[in-house]
Amino acid sequence: MGNRIASYREFWPHYLREHGKRATRKLHYIGTALTLVALALGIVASPWWLLAIPLAGYGFAWFAHFRVEHNRPATFTHPWWSLVSDYRMFFLAVTGRLGPHLERAGVR
């Protein structure tokens, strides 16, 4: 991340470019969906399920970055913006509204 990113508005397109490969995004979606399942199970079944949230989320995401995208996860430099962006990307994808965001960020 050569330039220092000073705002979330600057971070969002950077985040999308760091997730430029479709396989990277798909692995993120799997991990993010599992975090939501673990949260629900943690609420209704057992609080122990809450421990699965970071394992599922970071496990799938980091695997995608190191093995598919071959870059460093944004969470290492901007943890909160990265977390927000992961869920934002997930919900935009699920609702079919991610495409224009990817195009504006230069992701083909």
Task: Check: pTM over 0.85? Answer yes or no.
Answer: yes
Contact (CB, 8 A) for 27 and 60: yes
State the Cα–Cα distance between residues 42 and 39, nearest whole angstrom.
5
Sketch the domain layout of the chain as residue ranges.
Answer: 9-104
pLDDT digits (tens, 9 = 90+) for 74-89: 999 999 999 999 999 9
How far apart are the C-alpha atoms of 74 and 19, rounded to whole Å? 10
pLDDT above 70 (res 2): no
Single out the residue of 62, 60, 69, 53 nearest to residue 29, CA to CA.
60
For 45, which DSSP code? Answer: T
The whole-chain average pLDDT of the chain stands at: 96
